[in-house]
Amino acid sequence: MIEEGRPLFLQIAESVEDSIVDGSLAEESQAPSTNELAAFHRINPATAAKGITMLVDKGVLYKRRGIGMFVAEGARARLMAERRASFADRYVEPLLAEARKLGLGPDDLGALIRERASASSAQNERNAR
């Protein structure tokens, strides 16, 4: 789960953000503590604390004195906006680069995406039943 080559505190912060974005960590609910994160990821507590501090500075978490860290109101919407902004760089760019190598143009990609999207939504409907 932990990757090499990237600062650990960033990865810890991102793992907390992931839980906020996918809704498993709701706004105004208590975030995992530094020690819980350190024990779960088996990392130094100081590193986990650095990740938490980064999220506090970003306004994603806030501290309730004597209780712990909580997810700020509006954090999910802000994280989603931030991720949408970087979506093109992180996912579309590499997709286009690989497609170019294979001689696939934007229209081919569009067709592929629509095809896959309808197949997976049909799959989801079947699973939901």
Answer for which of 15, 19, 30, 45 binds another protein (CB under 8 A) is 45
- Does 35 bind another protein (CB under 8 A)? Our answer is yes
- Does 44 bind another protein (CB under 8 A)? Our answer is yes
- Does 77 bind another protein (CB under 8 A)? Our answer is no
Q: Is 31 exposed, middle or buried (0-12, 13-18, 19+ CB in 10 A)?
A: buried
- Does 128 bind another protein (CB under 8 A)? Our answer is no
User: Measured from the CB of residue 3, what is the shortest distance to another protein in angstroms?
Assistant: 7
- Does 69 bind another protein (CB under 8 A)? Our answer is no
Name, in order, each residue with C-beta under 8 angstroms of 111's C-beta and a sequence gap of 6 or more: none
- Does 43 bind another protein (CB under 8 A)? Our answer is yes
- 11 CA to centre of own chain: 10
Q: At 93, which amino acid appears? A: E
State whether residue 1 is helix, strand or coil: coil
Quick one: DSSP state of residue 44? -
- Does 40 bind another protein (CB under 8 A)? Our answer is no
Alpha helix ranges (H) inside the chain: 8-21, 34-41, 45-57, 75-87, 93-101, 106-128
Answer for which of 26, 39, 77, 92 binds another protein (CB under 8 A) is 39
Region of 38-46, 60-68, 71-79, 116-124 interacting with another protein (CB under 8 A): 38-46
CA angle 17, 19, 21 (to 5 degrees): 70
Q: Residues interacting with another protein, by CB under 8 A?
A: 2-9, 35, 38-39, 41-47, 50, 93-94, 97, 101
